[in-house]
Amino acid sequence: MPQPATGPTEPDTFLALCGHTHLFPGARCRVQGLPDPEAFAARPRPVDVLLRFSDSVTVDAEVRTDGPDGAVLAVPAYTTGAGTPIDGRAWLIREFTRTGDEVELTIGGGPRPRGGC
């Protein structure tokens, strides 16, 4: 007889919509589909995200929260829709803000060399 599924029921990766073709200090991305956006904004945890930029380019990235600089968004190298290569970086996240059922990440500080992904 089949056993009921046990284990996490939330997705492994969450969609994050970005308003530009690349990240920079002050850029914002809205993470969708989090099971408890209020709790995540108050106490962020590591999650995988699929960044979708304004030119429809998508890239797998990670929110990391265990580094010495605080929370970062680790983004691998990618190419914009216009063909501009963008180096991989770990961007500091200045702020997590709940906006309805999404959490908005505000990029701050500046890019850090990306390591360990």
**Residues 45-97: pLDDT tens digits?**
999 999 999 999 999 999 999 888 899 999 999 999 999 999 999 999 999 99
At 67 the pLDDT is 83
Would you call 18 helix, strand, or coil by DSSP? strand
Q: How many CA atoms lie within 13 A of 36 on its CB side?
A: 7
At 113 the pLDDT is 53
At 110 the pLDDT is 57
Q: Which two tokens stand for residue 31?
A: 């993470």
Given a cut of 50, is residue 5 above it in pLDDT?
Answer: no
At 116 the pLDDT is 45
Q: Are the CB atoms for 106 and 94 separated by under 8 Å?
A: yes
User: Considering the chain, what percentage of its residues have pLDDT values greater than 90?
Assistant: 78
Q: What is the pTM of this model?
A: 0.83
At 94 the pLDDT is 95
Given a cut of 70, is residue 3 above it in pLDDT?
Answer: no
